[in-house]
Chain A
Amino acid sequence: MLRRHKKRDALQGTLDLLVLKTLSRGPHHGYGIAADIQSISDDILRVEEGSLYPALHRMEHLGWITAEWRTTTNNRRARLYSLTRAGQKRLDEEQVTWDRLTKAVGKVLRFA
């Protein structure tokens, strides 16, 4: 049952990569992650909430990130996610894979 969740399609892998990368700069809550991705990508990447939260909980369960309730500066309780050591390792792997993938796609596009 658990194994099935380890199989990911490329799109989900991309979301994971974006989330992990965002969290590598420090703990953040779900909204913040979505907002960061959107602003850094100049509004090109818009993360669907319907995909973000399942992904966060899934990665938490896989042990890549942890979550805890913290009080924010404006005194609201927010669920803060942070990267674990396993998550950092994952991120490095994903990044290598991604670089190889984009390079390969670029080659194909240039060749055509």
Chain B
Amino acid sequence: MGWVRRLRGTFSGGEVDFDEERRFHIDQRTDEYVRSGMGQEEARRMALKRFGNATLVKERTQDVDMFRWIHDVGRDTRYAFRMLRRSPGFSLLAILCLTLGIGANAAVFSWIEGILLRPYPLVVDQDRLFAVTGTNRGAPGNTDVSWPDWLDLQRNSTLVEAFIGEKITGTTLSVGDRAERASGSMVSANYFDAIGVRPMLGRGFERGEDSGRNAHPVTVISYQMWQDRFHGDPSVIGKTQVLSGLPHTIVGVTPKGFYGTFVGYAFQFWVPASMQSQFDAGVYKLEDRGARWIEGYVRLKPGVTIEQAQAEMSSIAARLEGDYPETNRGRGVRLFPLWQTPFNNAGALLPTLGIALVVVLSVLLIACANVGNLLLVRAFARQQEMTIRLSVGAGRGRLVKQLMTEGLMLSAIAAAGGLVVANWLRDALALLTPPRGGVLLRLPGELDWRVLALSAGVCLVSTLLFGLVPAMLTSNIDLASALRSQSGGVVGARSRAWVRSTLVLVQMSLSFVLLVGAGLLIQSLQAVRNASPGFSTQGVLTTGVDLFTAGYDAQRAKNFQDELIDRLQALGGVESAALSRMTPFSYRSYSTAPIAVDGYDAPPDQQPTADFNEIGPQFLATMGIPLVSGREFTRADNDTAPLVAVVDETMAAQFWRGVDPIGRRVQVKGRWMQIVGVARNAKYRNLLETPKPFFYVALRQNFSATTALQIRTAQGPAALAPSLVREIHALDANVAPSELITMREQVERTTAAQRISVTILVVFGGLAVVLAAIGLYGVMASTVSQSSRELALRMALGAGASDLLGLVLSKGLALTVGGLVLGLVVALQVTRLLGYLLYKVSPRDPIAFGLAFVVITVASLVACFVPAWRATRTDPLRALRG
């Protein structure tokens, strides 16, 4: 137990104490021997000898002291508990503040851990995993990689341990007579080996299963799917499951708790990349170096940095560019840390989680300042008690320990509560994010030991912040001055008041910054919602009809599509209906192709590319996208007619530079198309995208059996859905449409990141203001009660109630103004960090700043008024006598 003793010794100075006591004893004994006639030397030796084994005596003495120390801790704890119970209001308030602060922090830590840092349960060595995407020279953003390029990167790389290719996909599963979407992934054959996940039943994929067109219809299914669809049947291996219209043999079941490697989704099945065309409506891309569709991860060899790996990838990409100029011109490869993964929800949530972290840390700071202030008020109120205890000989160390025990007790209770809060909040992000395409998002918090350790750290630091400050102040009590009356202070002139004022100042400024942020994001969200996407969001519904999966060949699908449109347009209340391969703002990707235009020469190292949508007749009219000139497609633009295209304004401006492009031609994937119309610019993926060239081709001439269906009608989805299903079932009872929603809903679903940020900032900004107001109230209330003598004197000398009201209010408002000025300076610096979340709102927007200013001022006035009013009720006689 030696270390305990040393530890205790450092706390109480017991070792030093005893050494001094022993020295005194020996000196006295020596003197005694000298008096009886011994020489000094001998007397000392005899005294030492008589005392015996000094270390042994010391140990035995200190053993006794150690029990006292343990006893003290117990007594402090009991005492602290009694103090907390004696003022339940104070304790509840303090614990509530801290619970919210610590809980919010633990929740955000758990999100960051579960979404950004270690997003993939059961996957090994995630710290060496990096995301891989393609790039286009001269164009911002990221693309996917073609399969042949992927294989070449893999073959030529020396620094990468494994290439883990995958592409999110989906299928419709029939559940009784209901259709249900399930998300899954097309993966390279090494997938399960490379991520270190061993199927709990059967096997993963085998070498070579990712090559050959649709050559290996095998699948590994998730534990969830095994339970839900196969009721945990142990002999499921070898059975078949229809996925995307084709029976697949089940070869494996993943272990419980594995959800795949795509932030946001819990995958239900995996198929080898060889099945790509089956899941891409029949378009075969495995041997097409121009088709970029695969993305994924690399696991670097131990000790390799991302910079080294990036350099190697870039040099391989440059070689490929030289070898295959017609497909690879301008193409590169880029690595990202997992938490910046651009192709899943990690990248989208990164700024949101960053903001959340800053916000909850601020709230915790404010909460700590509050609890510190509350403890200080009580410490001063107990000043006379403390002073008396000091003067009768209580060690200052004991007093500090006593106050620390109280702080630690508060924060320990709050930390326990905080973890409960964090546990509730684990799935909050998924709840704030609406499902897309019928598949629920999975954005879990992860309460692992790292999160627990970090939360415990936060708890300790906050204890130090709010426990130690009052403890230090109290232990510095100047006995002489403290024994004078408690209420003898002067308003605003107490020597220690500056600490509490500083705390309030910091609280005020932090709340101001949070409020400004909330104001900015609210306005931004409003602007996003009001922004015109360039198509109608009112009166247009969208759904999906997947004939490819239903097993239709092209000719049957074309007949079905024509008949469906005819039937829908004949319905009462339907203005028009149109098919397209994609509906705008979908989570899926548009087709993209290298293009060429007569008379337009791109820089030699760049390959112009543009995204396009395959649309049916009346699509633009149905969507409400106006034509600038020309016409849109009609039924006459069919398989046998000349190829046609409609370009948007951005594309027209970039490639034809002000000349009307109608009648000109554009080459898409080697096929020349005549331009028949120019459409007004619209947003295609989300409201915040920057305009890029975009064009439309005729669905009939670029056929897809998997389509989105847009319907212009005044009816709501609920009213129209039954007729839609009836018309589709009249054509084929086995085909079911996917979820029918308004275009407004479709657009709203892309603003999840903004909405999460707004929710977090508004909730915590509000909380911060309330906490700060409580802090201000506490300071003012105790200032008034501690200055009652001065106030009484002023009254006795003729000051009226309004004078006293003014005195206290002005003192409180001075703090507020200080906080506002500090907050203003900070806010002007930090609101820029909101970055892309701010849409059409300046980071220095005067409305947001003004609103925050008003809210803080009103809250301060309310917080100051009660103590100020109490000041006017001071009874001069009693106060002066006291």
Q: Which residues of A contact B (CB under 8 A)?
A: 1-2, 5, 29-32, 34-35, 48-50, 53-54, 56-58, 60-61, 66, 68, 76-79
CA distance A77 to B32 in the complex (A): 18
Could you say which residues of chain B place their CB within 8 Å of the CB of A2?
67, 70-71
The A-contacting residues of B in range 24-43, CB under 8 angstroms, are 24-25, 27-29, 32
Contacts known (A1-B67, A61-B67); A50 close to B52, Cβ less than 8 A? yes
Provide the residues of chain A in CB contact with B60, threshold 8 Å. Answer: 50, 53-54
Nearest chain A residue, comparing its CB with the CB of B56: A50
What is the chain A residue whose CB lies nearest that of B57?
A50
- A1-B67, A53-B18, A57-B61 known, 10 other contacts, Cβ within 8 Å: A2-B71, A34-B25, A35-B32, A50-B52, A53-B21, A53-B22, A58-B64, A61-B65, A79-B17, A79-B20
The answer to whether A30 and B70 have CB atoms under 8 Å apart is: no
The answer for the CA separation of A101 and B51 in the assembled complex, in Å, is: 31
- With both beta carbons as reference points, the residue of chain A lying nearest to B74 in the complex is identified as A2
Q: Which residues of B contact A30 (CB under 8 A)?
A: 21, 24-25
The reply to whether B50 and A49 form a contact with Cβ atoms under 8 Å apart is yes
Q: Is the interface of B mostly helix, strand, loop or mixed?
A: helix
Shortest Cβ distance from B27 into A: residue: A76
Question: CB-CB < 8 A to B63: which residues of A?
Answer: 54
Q: Interface on B for A, CB 8 Å cutoff?
A: 17-18, 20-22, 24-25, 27-29, 32, 50-53, 56-57, 60-65, 67-68, 70-71, 393
Would you call B32 and A29 a contact (CB within 8 A)? no
A61 vs B66: C-alpha distance when bound (angstroms): 10
Nearest CB on B from A74, distance (A):
9
Instruction: Say yes or no: B65 contacts A57, CB within 8 Å.
Output: yes
**Most A C-beta atoms less than 10 A away, residue of B21, B51, B65, B68:** B21
Q: Which residues of B contact A68 (CB under 8 A)?
A: 393
Give the residue name and chain of the B residue nearest to A29 (CB). Answer: B24
Closest partner residue, chain A, to B29 (CB atom):
A31
**Closest chain A CB from B40 CB (angstroms):** 16
Q: Sorted from nearest, which 4 A-B pairs have the closest CB atoms? A: A31-B28, A61-B68, A57-B64, A54-B60
Contact: B24 with A49, CB < 8 Å?
no
* Nearest opposing residue in chain B for A60, CB measure: B68
| Known contacts A31-B28, A78-B24, A79-B21, A49 near B52 by CB under 8 Å | yes
Residue of B nearest to A49 (CB): B51
Residue of B nearest to A72 (CB): B24
A23 → B minimal CB distance (Å): 16
In the complex, what distance in Å separates the CA atom of A50 from the CA atom of B18?
13
Q: Do residues A5 and B25 form an inter-chain contact, with CB atoms below 8 A? A: no
If the complex has contacts A49-B50, A50-B53, A53-B57, are A77 and B64 also in contact, measured as CB distance less than 8 A?
A: no
**A3–chain B nearest beta-carbon distance, Å:** 11
Q: Give, as a whole number of angstroms, the nearest-CB distance from A85 to chain B.
A: 14
Instruction: Give bound CA distance, A107 to B562, whole Å.
Output: 126
Q: Given A48-B52, A49-B51, verify A79-B24 contact (CB < 8 Å).
A: yes
Cβ–Cβ < 8 Å partners of B50 in chain A: 49
Bound CA span A27–B636, Å: 116
Contacts of B28 in A (CB 8 A): 29, 31-32, 35
CA distance A1 to B481 in the complex (A): 42
What residue of chain A has the Cβ atom nearest to residue B14's Cβ? Answer: A57
